[in-house]
Structure 1
Amino acid sequence: MFRLAKLASVSGQPLVRLCEGKYGITRREWRLIVVLSQEGPLLSTALARRASIEPARTSRTVTQLVTRGLAERIPRSNDRRCIEIHLTQRARDIYADLYPVVRDLESALLAGFSAEDRAELGRLMAMLESSAGTLVSQEDLPKADRRKLHRK
């Protein structure tokens, strides 16, 4: 797991720099923008599930997007209790500008891989994601109280 975390950190640095430096958004905000751009408006719970982010963090990130004018919370017309998250045009413009750059970064990262290697890596990653999801759902692990961890 250490190697996967290290790889994610190192390979994600160009994306973090682009998100923060050029667009003023966090990596988590970018993740939600990608999901909403590709899947359309979603309820917060569905957005959290599809982005693989805890619901509370998703809610905070959506609030940040709304505050920055990148998303809107819009009640469904047939059930006003259901609030969908919609991207604004500004967020769609960021996606249209940044997504091709992200694809190019991924291509550069995988440049030394053959087509077969890429397919195998995709298959192995899917297996790891499935195994990790199974572990998380089966384990009754304690959650840390992060407020206590950051107090001095």
Structure 2
Amino acid sequence: MKRALSVTDPKFDLTKFLPYLLNQAAEASSLEFQRHYKGRYGMLRTEWRVLFHLGLYGRMTASDIGARAKMHKTKISRAVQRLAEQRFLTRTRDKGDRRVEHLELTAQGRKAYSDLSSVAARYDNALASQFTEQEMEILRRALLKLGAD
């Protein structure tokens, strides 16, 4: 069995540190998609993630999105505010609990979601084409395992 290196180990190599590699891969792989959601709609990363959750799951609360997307509530709150200002979503107070808002995409939001989801699917296919089917299956399984609670 291979010995695990610690950060204080003089042989520690940052370029092989898994969190570093994952971050580098995430940044590199998301830049092209960013051109679309930012260029076409002026959205930030958190905003397209909120938009996609509402597009996929329909009406949700910010807490629901936070739990699914693993995003901090203040980031979601800012994203919701901007998406509402741009008329991509509506906010409706819960009748039973005035502290809760239900979020839904507007027609404009659904159109943006439809457009960006087709771009995302094409982009995902382009990224996946760099790997064999077996490599993609292993990569997706490994990433899902790392992201599991």
Q: TM-score, normalised by structure 1?
A: 0.80
Counterpart code for 2:40: K
Query: Which residue is equivalent to 1:49?
Result: 67
- Whether 1:37 aligns to 2:49 is no
Following TM superposition, by how much is the alpha carbon of 1:38 offset from its aligned partner in structure 2, in angstroms? Answer: 0.5
The question of 1:66 aligning with 2:84 is answered: yes
Counterpart in the other structure of 1:148: none
Equivalent in 7, 16, 20 of residue 38 of structure 2? 20
Sequence identity, in percent? 26
Correspondence for 1:101 among 115, 119, 139: 119
- Report if the CA contact (8 A) 2:55-2:113 is conserved: yes
SS in structure 2 at match of 1:72: strand
Query: SS of the residue aligned with 2:129?
Result: coil
- Report how far residue 12 of structure 1 moved: 0.5
Q: How many residues align?
A: 130
| 2:13 paired residue number | none
CA shift at 1:66, angstroms?
Answer: 0.8
Provide the secondary structure at the position in 1 that maps to 2:87.
coil
**After superposition, what is the alpha-carbon deviation per residue over 1:96-146, rounded to whole angstroms, capped at 9, x for unaligned?**
11111111111111103222222211111111112xx4xxxxxxxxxxxxx
Q: Is the 8 A contact 2:46 2:75 kept in 1?
A: no
Indicate if the aligned counterparts of 1:73 and 1:84 stay in contact, CA closer than 8 A. Answer: yes
**Structure 2 letter corresponding to 1:85:** L
Unaligned runs of 5+ in 2: 1-18
RMSD: 1.4
Q: What letter matches 2:122 in structure 1?
A: D
Alignment gaps of 5+ in structure 1: 134-152
Whole-Å Cα distance in 2 between the matches of residues 44 and 125 of structure 1? Answer: 25
Secondary structure class of the residue paired with 1:25: coil
| Contact preservation (8 Å) 1:15, 1:27 | no
Equivalent-residue separation in structure 1 for 2:130 and 2:104 (angstroms): 38
